[in-house]
Amino acid sequence: MSDASAPANTSNTITVIPGDGVGPEVTSAVLRILDAAGAGLAYDMQEAGIAAIQPHGSPLPDETLESIDANRVALKGPLATPAGSGFRSVNVAIRKHFDLFANVRPVRTIVPGGRYEEIDLVLIRENTEGLYVGIEHFIGMEGDPKAAAESVMITTRYGSERVVRFAFEYARTHGRRKVTLAHKANILKHTQGLFLEVGKRLATEYAGRVGFEDRIIDATAMYLVLDPYRFDVLVMENMFGDILSDLMAGLVGGLGFAPAGNMGRSHAVFEAVHGSAPDIAGEGVANPTGLLLSACLLLDHMGRDEEAARIRQAVETVVVAGIARTRDMGGTDGTDAFADAVIRAMA
Ligand code: NAI
């Protein structure tokens, strides 16, 4: 993924944030696998999320930000965000702080025999604008302080241009044939209209090198289910990307397999698409593959293609041959047993 974004970290040290819920379980499994693969990384362990509140008095301590700033590359476990009230999303705060404008989410079939075979798609989600800017308020009327609520969606030409260009550059440098820009410009004529206008203009720059189409977001969702093979690289605004990336994870067996990279011009933070999974936290049954494949994206980004390939190959061997499978894959193995099997497969 070392293309239009963050320059690779030249040291071996990365920031590691185990995070909340299943985060510490999957993180320790992933670090064991990275070590066994000979990645030769040093880990600067940091806290964030609910895990950081008690020791640091903040869900996003300064030490954690300073560590990411210094190391430029981080591997992050899931961070829980209270719904409706409480502190704002720490994930969003990290993306904003380091201006990680492109969220890259590759979706590939690993477990055969699912609803679809050989899925190979990449979703690129705008990561800093849209409704996620968090400008919202209640409007009081007739004694009801919450009679209405209003939220502001921000789209800038600058923000649209850099993420759509990232998508075209990603396609060009990864041998991809087409970029699909998914939007709702028929209804949101200003915000989504601007995103589409920018996309169409950039498409002319890449004509003959990378194909382009635009599609309405709801039809895109339907076609992703009916015929995902018609897509290749998809780019969209923040919330559409959030929703469709989970849908796309579902095409290949669920959230346990989905990796992501948050890419900025100078920093990059890699994380699984899934959250803290409070329903299974502490049970030792979480699937570490999402974070492991995110660590592979991190290795790609640091130019360690060989180690990344070794891990991907081992995961595939273990899962396809059924050597070990976690519960969400239909197996009975726990997180550590799965990690042990991946390590053995690399030997
Ligand atoms: P979730 O992704 O944590 O869980 C959804 C479902 O998927 C649950 O049934 C869970 O058990 C399962 N699941 C998730 N990861 C799994 C894994 N590795 N192995 C096996 N099964 C797995 O989503 P939910 O419940 O909506 O969110 C829980 C918390 O996580 C919330 O506080 C949310 O804000 C946070 N979250 C954080 C994210 C991040 O840090 N990037 C992303 C998404 C949610």
**How much distance in Å is there from the Cα of 274 to the middle of ligand 1?**
4
In sequence order, the 6+-apart residues with CB closer than 8 A to the CB of 26 are 77, 272, 286, 287, 288, 290, 291, 292, 335
Q: Which atom of ligand 1 is nearest to the CA of 82?
A: 32
pLDDT at residue 84, rounded to an integer: 65
pLDDT at residue 217, rounded to an integer: 98
Query: Where in 142-231 does DSSP place strands (E)?
Result: 144-151, 178-183, 211-216
109 assigned to some structural domain: no
Rg of the chain, C-alpha, whole Å: 20
Query: Where in 127-238 does DSSP place strands (E)?
Result: 136-141, 144-151, 178-183, 211-216, 233-236
Q: Which atom of ligand 1 is nearest to the CA of 26?
A: 18
90 assigned to some structural domain: yes
Give me the domain span that covers residue 155. Answer: 120-251
Note whether 245 and 129 are same-domain residues. Answer: yes
Cα separations (Å) of 184 from 150, 177, 236, 263, 340?
19, 23, 10, 24, 45
CB under 6 Å to ligand 1: residues? Answer: 22, 26, 78-81, 91, 255-256, 271, 274-280, 286-287, 290, 328
Residue 69 known to be catalytic: no
Note whether 152 and 233 are same-domain residues. Answer: yes
**How much distance in Å is there from the Cα of 210 to the middle of ligand 1?**
34
128 assigned to some structural domain: yes
Cα separations (Å) of 106 from 54, 110, 125, 170, 244?
35, 12, 11, 11, 12
39 in Cβ contact with 307 (< 8 Å)? yes
247 assigned to some structural domain: yes
Note whether 157 and 202 are same-domain residues. Answer: yes
334 assigned to some structural domain: yes
28 assigned to some structural domain: yes
Output the residue whose Cα is nearest ligand 1's atom 27: 275
pLDDT at residue 136, rounded to an integer: 94
pLDDT at residue 2, rounded to an integer: 43
**How much distance in Å is there from the Cα of 278 to the middle of ligand 1?**
7
Q: Which of 201, 228, 251 corresponds to the end of one domain? A: 251
Residue 184 known to be catalytic: yes
Note whether 216 and 277 are same-domain residues. Answer: no
Note whether 144 and 233 are same-domain residues. Answer: yes
**How much distance in Å is there from the Cα of 157 to the middle of ligand 1?**
32
Note whether 233 and 130 are same-domain residues. Answer: yes
Note whether 229 and 326 are same-domain residues. Answer: no
Q: Is the pTM of this model over 0.85?
A: yes
pLDDT at residue 256, rounded to an integer: 78
CATH number at 79 reads 3.40.718.10
79 assigned to some structural domain: yes
Q: Which of 236, 251, 266 corresponds to the end of one domain? A: 251
Per-residue pLDDT of the chain (347 residues; tens, 9 = 90+): 444 455 555 679 999 999 999 999 999 999 999 999 999 999 999 999 998 988 999 999 999 999 999 999 999 999 988 766 667 789 989 999 999 999 999 999 987 778 899 999 999 999 999 998 889 999 999 999 999 999 999 999 999 999 999 999 999 999 999 999 999 999 999 999 999 999 999 999 999 999 999 999 999 999 999 999 999 999 999 999 999 999 999 998 878 788 999 999 999 999 998 899 999 999 999 999 999 999 999 999 999 999 999 999 999 999 989 999 999 888 999 999 999 999 999 98
Number of domains the chain contains: 2
CA separation for the pair 21, 329 (Å, rounded)? 20
Q: Are strands 211-216 and 136-141 parallel, antiparallel or unpaired?
A: unpaired
Note whether 341 and 274 are same-domain residues. Answer: yes
Note whether 228 and 132 are same-domain residues. Answer: yes
Q: Which atom of ligand 1 is nearest to the CA of 77?
A: 40
Note whether 236 and 342 are same-domain residues. Answer: no
**How much distance in Å is there from the Cα of 327 to the middle of ligand 1?**
15
Residue 279 known to be catalytic: no
Note whether 168 and 208 are same-domain residues. Answer: yes
Output the residue whose Cα is nearest ligand 1's atom 31: 80
Note whether 245 and 262 are same-domain residues. Answer: no
What are the residues facing 243 on neighbouring strands? Answer: none
Q: Which of 217, 251, 285 corresponds to the end of one domain? A: 251
108 assigned to some structural domain: no
